[in-house]
């Protein structure tokens, strides 16, 4: 091959130059495609397009295993059971016969194949070249139909894949979706998932079949079901009470229904055309979570007792995954509720508009240390603060509550500049509280003879952003003192910043500007750009759109946001 250099040895001169993807030779009888180190197709030759009944555009960029590799019954093949994947992952030259590729028209192509490592470019990137040719036409099979029985090896591979896929997500809806994709059409033509909700209602969350190799949901059959009848002897009712798995069919529900669920089952079998089904309870460690039904059409054979044990194993794994997802979501809800109750209601200050938002971290169910505060002072000024206690756990939340409450006490009792109050707070953080280090901005918003102003100090926090009514913006980064809790004995500084009429002051935590793998300046520039564009929006709309547009999508940190807007000039505001 002069287009791609097989990597037979690490020594010797490099092979001929690599041609551009898609410029592979026509090997007359053999198809050829090349994959990168992730198994994605990067190039094909014309013969491969012809044999597979797919254009190069439909092949390049797709995962070769998921798109092409099938077992003799046309079902998707677990990677662990695929000989071609073994050769690819082993980095050796291997061949085989009587394997199967899926063609574009859903028929199967019987092939003999050879996989060999190759260099993809002069830079040394590795991949593999796959040569294949069509075997005797007598070995072909008709277009793929419904589900068929699996070998013992296939069953073990399916169970391993079920465990891996279901335990790699903590989202209950995604767990159900993955479960359905695992069993349809490999085990059944239909999959039905009925779940018992937190309030003990029964909900038919998924009714799915397959068409053209893709899973298709029948939403008209989904939705709430009648309550579980405690005396019903029908298979689904028994499964939802935790009874053993059982076989069922249309004839099971032909008689007078003994419950509302039996009526729903009669409709299910009638609409789907299932003629054979197996129903198993989905059990969690503490309770029954629902039931899994696998059904087959008339052309796919019947479910047998031998397959109930496999269904039980799958349902058991699904139960563990769903229980974990529910526990995670419950903990997350409790954490978010706790966090929100720790945050204050904003005061009503004549002439001054305020709005605040808190967005919890998306990557954990733990409370965090981000917080904001605003409260009136004895002399008529309004105190504003925003901060971030180091950590993302219950200790950070407890430290946040201590710091916020002590700040309120100091700010109310001491008629001192913001820097003095923060220095007193810093000493308490070091000597009295259990809080670790924290960043914070504390200031007084005052109405002076010359207009509104912010008198403030910064303890290691990202700088405030000030936007004027005409969209000009600037970060207030004049001073940046040390964090709270460091134990450093250094003085702090105060800054007096005028707040022009109809200007918007944005106080925020670092979750709004930080993103993994990017410099902080990029996030600050994005915040400034979007905030300036929203300068004339109503304040609550400003907050919502700023979070939507400026917050990096890849950042899972929590965000606290406090925004203030000054009124128009008195002469202007008095105008009708």
Q: What is the pLDDT of residues 199-237, one digit of tens each?
A: 889 999 999 998 876 889 999 999 999 999 888 899 999
Average pLDDT of 342-353?
A: 88
* Conformational region of residue 234, where left means phi above 0, alpha means psi within -120 to 50, and beta covers everything else: beta
CATH topology of domain 152-331: Beta-Lactamase (3.30.450)
Helices and strands counted in the chain (H then E): 14, 24
Q: State the pLDDT at residue 367.
A: 59
**Which ranges of 133-225 would DSSP assign to H, the alpha helix?**
152-166, 172-183
Nearest-Å Rg of the Cα atoms of the chain is 32
The per-residue DSSP string of 280-347 comes to EEEE-SSSEEEEEEEEE-GGG----HHHHHHHHHHHHHHHHHHHHHHHHHHHHHHHHHHHHHHSPPPP
Query: Can 5-139 and 152-331 be said to share one CATH topology?
Result: yes
Question: Which tokens hold the place of 72?
Answer: 């003799």
- Report which of residues 48 and 15 the model is more confident about: 48
Nearest to 563, CA basis, from 547, 575, 576, 552? 547
CATH architecture of 343-573: 4-Layer Sandwich (3.60)
Nearest to 457, CA basis, from 410, 524, 503? 410
Assess whether the previous peptide bond of 240 is cis (omega < 30° from 0).
no
Q: State the pLDDT at residue 24.
A: 66
Q: In the chain, where are the structural domains located?
A: 5-139, 152-331, 343-573
Confidence check: pLDDT of 112 > 90: no
Q: State the pLDDT at residue 186.
A: 84
Cα-based distances in Å from 98 to 75, 116, 526 = 15, 18, 56
Q: What is the pTM of this model?
A: 0.52
Average pLDDT of 175-187?
A: 90
Q: Which residue has the tokens 């009470």?
A: 241
Give the long-range contacts of residues 328-335, CB within 8 A, separation 24 or more.
328/170, 328/365, 329/170, 329/172, 329/365, 330/198, 331/365, 332/360, 332/365, 335/360, 335/365, 335/366, 335/367
- Report which of residues 517 and 321 the model is more confident about: 321
Report the run of H or E that residue 208 belongs to, with start and end: strand 202-211
Average pLDDT of 66-75?
A: 81
CATH number attached to the domain at 5-139 = 3.30.450.20
Give me the count of residues in the chain.
Answer: 576
With beta carbons less than 8 A apart as the criterion, state whether 324 and 172 touch. no
Report how far residue 522's alpha carbon sits from residue 178's, in angstroms, rounded to the nearest whole number. Answer: 36
């Amino acid at each position: 091959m002069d287009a791609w250099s097989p990597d037979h040895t690490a020594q010797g001169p490099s092979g001929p130059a690599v041609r551009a993807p898609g410029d592979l030779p026509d090997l007359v009888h053999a198809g050829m495609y090349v994959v990168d180190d992730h198994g994605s197709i990067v190039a094909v030759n014309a013969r491969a397009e012809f044999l597979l009944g797919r254009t190069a555009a439909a092949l390049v960029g797709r995962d070769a295993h998921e798109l092409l590799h099938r077992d003799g019954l046309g079902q998707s093949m677990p990677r662990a059971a695929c000989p071609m994947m073994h050769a690819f992952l082993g980095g050796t030259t291997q061949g085989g016969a009587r394997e199967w590729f899926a063609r574009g028209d859903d028929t199967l192509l019987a092939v003999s194949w050879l996989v060999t490592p190759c260099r993809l470019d002069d830079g040394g990137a590795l991949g593999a070249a796959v040569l294949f040719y069509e075997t005797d036409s007598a070995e072909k099979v008709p277009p793929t139909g419904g589900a068929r029985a699996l070998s013992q090896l296939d069953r073990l591979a399916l169970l391993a894949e079920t465990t891996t896929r279901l335990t790699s997500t903590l989202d209950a809806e995604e767990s159900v979706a993955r479960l359905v994709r695992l069993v349809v059409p490999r085990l059944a033509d239909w999959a039905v998932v009925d779940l018992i909700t937190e309030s003990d209602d029964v909900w038919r969350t998924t009714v799915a079949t397959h068409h053209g190799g893709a899973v298709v949901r029948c939403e008209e059959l989904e939705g709430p079901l009648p309550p579980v009848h405690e005396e019903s002897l029908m298979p689904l009712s028994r499964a939802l009470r935790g009874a053993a798995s059982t076989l069922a069919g249309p004839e099971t529900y032909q008689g007078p229904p003994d419950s509302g669920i039996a009526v729903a089952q009669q409709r299910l079998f009638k609409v789907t055309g299932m003629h054979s089904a197996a129903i198993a309870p989905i059990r969690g460690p503490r309770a029954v979570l629902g039931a899994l039904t696998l059904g087959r059409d008339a052309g796919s054979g019947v479910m047998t007792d031998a397959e109930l044990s496999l269904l039980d194993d799958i349902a058991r794994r699904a139960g563990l995954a769903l229980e974990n997802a529910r526990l995670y979501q419950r903990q997350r809800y409790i954490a978010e509720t706790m966090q929100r109750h720790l945050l204050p209601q904003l005061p009503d200050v004549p002439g001054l508009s305020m709005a605040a938002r808190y967005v919890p971290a998306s990557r954990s169910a733990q409370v965090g240390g981000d917080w904001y505060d605003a409260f009136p002072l004895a002399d008529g000024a309004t105190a504003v603060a925003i901060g971030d206690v180091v950590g993302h756990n219950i200790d950070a939340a407890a430290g946040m509550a201590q710091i916020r409450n002590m700040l309120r006490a100091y700010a109310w009792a001491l008629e001192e500049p913001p820097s003095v109050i923060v220095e007193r707070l810093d000493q308490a953080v070091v000597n009295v509280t259990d809080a670790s280090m924290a960043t914070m901005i504390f200031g007084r918003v005052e109405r002076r003879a010359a207009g509104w102003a912010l008198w403030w100090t910064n303890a290691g926090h990202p700088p405030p952003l000030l936007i004027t009514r005409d969209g000009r913006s600037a970060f207030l980064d004049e001073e940046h003192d040390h964090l709270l809790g460091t134990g450093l004995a250094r003085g702090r500084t105060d800054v007096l910043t005028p707040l022009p009429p109809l200007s918007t002051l944005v106080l925020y935590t670092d979750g709004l500007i930080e993103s993994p793998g990017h410099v902080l300046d990029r996030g600050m520039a994005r915040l400034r750009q979007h905030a300036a564009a929203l300068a004339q929006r109503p304040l609550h709309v400003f907050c919502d759109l700023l979070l939507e547009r400026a917050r990096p999508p890849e950042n899972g940190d929590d965000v606290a946001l406090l925004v203030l807007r000054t009124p128009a000039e008195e002469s202007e505001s008095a105008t009708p």
